[in-house]
Amino acid sequence: MTSQNTTPQSTTSQNTTPQSTASQHTGPRNAPAPSTTSARSASADLEWAADPLLDPGVVADFLGRVEDLSPTEDAGGPAGLPALVDRFAALPAPPGAVVVIALPNGIRALRFFFAVALAGHTPVLLSPSTPVSRVREVARELGACALVRAAIRADAYGVTDVTRTGGADLGLFTGRPYRHHGPGHVILMSSGTSGMATGCLHGLDALLRNARRHGRSLGQRAADTTLVSLPVYYSYALVAQVLGGLVHGSRLVMAGPPFSVADYLATVAGRGVTLSSLTPSLVKSVVTAGGELPAPLRTLTVGGQALDPSYVSRLLKLNPELGLYITYGLTEAGPRVSTLAAHREPPHRHGSVGVPLDGVEVLTRPTDTGERELLVRSDTVYRRRVGEPAPSKRGDLIEPGLLATGDIGHVDDDGYVYVHGRSSDFAMVRGEKVSTATVRRAAESLPGVVRAATRIAVVDDDSAVLELDVFVDDAVPPSEAQMRRHLRSLLTRNELPVTVRIQPLRAGEHHK
């Protein structure tokens, strides 16, 4: 691990990410699926999966150790993984084609994720609450060949040949080019830090490497039972928890969302949970409710945004035997970057996000404001952007393996990383990361809207909410009700603004 408070030689702020060079394949309008025999042959030929962890038998054993607290009526069984792999290998698309998976937290979502990857295609996880129009936009921008949801209306999603497999519906996108990246890739959506349909292309081997390094920084072991209460479409839950469980041999308990303190504490005690991860807002809820964590929990990790040092101290005081780890990362980094073992550190370090993981280097460079931006160098950094262009510079590649985080901070003389703030294009709203650029773009896509502006407001309980000012053309102004309906069709619940103000523009103001 290396931390430096130095400016790297490459100080250019432009994004040197190469344009996507993934090849395209036009999906047939009604192509029949290849036979099961050819599917098995395609699956057997996937020699890219050299990592023994990606042996289908190893993955099936891992899924067999997953306990799902919210099982679906038709979740499919562990024995269904080989059949699912064959089904995806039989898709009428070239290796590495993109498959969009929008399923609730649970073993079913994991089974589809691994089946797509083991079949040599590129899985991408979305929130199951993603509106239909947004799913279609994501699929179009990514050049997806297939969609997996609990239930699919073919006409609504623009798919054909909808079949039931593995406890979910599978539909094929036809009549447009498929984009494919070759076997061994995963797309992590970065909508929390960039656009509505922007993703990061990662190597699955790099994600496994990041999971291994992160787990080592926590002392994770095979005897652990990990509670996955965060959505698996978050890069943290997928890599640090799910893939972390695979590489370290740990057992998983899948729960929620939604989150409640009472259910969380009962699950930890009742399911033998030893390792758990929470966002800072959820930690605050736990502390406010009393803060004492039940046995056998021995390790709690916190990530997603800065946790006030006072909460770190209070949590440790209430739980003196707890291993408390403050972590830092971002989707583009693969995703975890650094870890602070807060229970081993003096209070003056509780505001730090710790030291970089093995194989990760954190540097800084000056900004136009005189502050310093954190940079991350690692072999787990994403390979390139996919989908629509990112409206934010956060997560830009300076060069392969070197990432501009968009975060302001410093690295002290002992190598500890401190994050002072983040770029203005995103914020934490109701405990989740929201791209304000995404909200503005959604509002500006409605006819009559000239521009939109967002504002973060603090309400009585000290939580942040989003407010939206929409500047409209006097000639055809949308109403507030029309705007809210439009936003609901494009945004997730946490992205929806609490306040929407329609502001008519006078002539001559349109370009101010």
CATH of the domain at 500: 3.30.300.30
One domain, residues 327 and 264:
yes
429 CB-near residues (< 8 Å, 6+ apart): 456, 464, 465, 466, 494, 495
Higher pLDDT, 133 or 196: 133
Is 511 part of a structural domain of the chain?
no
| Beta-strand relationship, 168-172 and 146-149 | antiparallel
Mean pLDDT of the chain: 86
How many Cα atoms within 13 Å fall on the side-chain side of residue 194? 24
One domain, residues 283 and 310:
yes
**Region 417-421: what's the mean pLDDT?**
89
**Region 223-249: what's the mean pLDDT?**
97
Amino acid at 421: G
Long-range contacts of 437-441 (CB under 8 A, 24+ apart): 437/194, 437/195, 437/391, 437/392, 438/191, 438/194, 438/195, 438/196, 438/391, 438/491, 438/495, 439/466, 439/468, 439/487, 439/491, 439/495, 439/497, 440/468, 441/195, 441/196, 441/391
Give the span between the Cα atoms of 500 and 470, in whole angstroms.
Answer: 7
Give the span between the Cα atoms of 279 and 230, in whole angstroms.
Answer: 8
Is 510 part of a structural domain of the chain?
no
User: Which residue, among 130, 277, 121, has the nearest Cα to 191 in the 3D structure?
Assistant: 130
One domain, residues 233 and 345:
yes
Q: Find the radius of gyration of the CA atoms of the chain.
A: 23
One domain, residues 223 and 96:
no
One domain, residues 125 and 213:
no
One domain, residues 117 and 219:
no
One domain, residues 481 and 354:
no
Contact 222, 246 (CB under 8 A): no
Please count the structural domains in the chain: 3
How much of the chain exceeds pLDDT 70, in percent?
A: 84
One domain, residues 416 and 473:
no
Higher pLDDT, 464 or 385: 385
Instruction: Give Cα separations from 128 to 147, 164, 220, 450, 493 (angstroms).
Output: 12, 17, 30, 31, 12
Is 194 part of a structural domain of the chain?
no
Instruction: Give Cα separations from 483 to 448, 454, 480, 506 (angstroms).
Output: 11, 14, 5, 20
Strand partners, 122: 98
Check pLDDT > 60 for residue 200. yes
Is 373 part of a structural domain of the chain?
yes
Domain end: 407, 422, 437, which one?
422
One domain, residues 262 and 277:
yes
One domain, residues 464 and 418:
no
* pLDDT at residue 22, as a whole number: 52
**Region 436-465: what's the mean pLDDT?**
81
Q: Which domain holds residue 401?
A: 2-16+202-422
449 CB-near residues (< 8 Å, 6+ apart): 443, 470, 471, 472, 473, 478, 483
* pLDDT at residue 241, as a whole number: 98
One domain, residues 212 and 325:
yes
One domain, residues 266 and 398:
yes
**Region 167-183: what's the mean pLDDT?**
94
Is 40 part of a structural domain of the chain?
yes
pTM, two decimal places: 0.80
**Region 101-116: what's the mean pLDDT?**
96
Least confident of 3-17, 92-106, 268-282, 289-303: 3-17
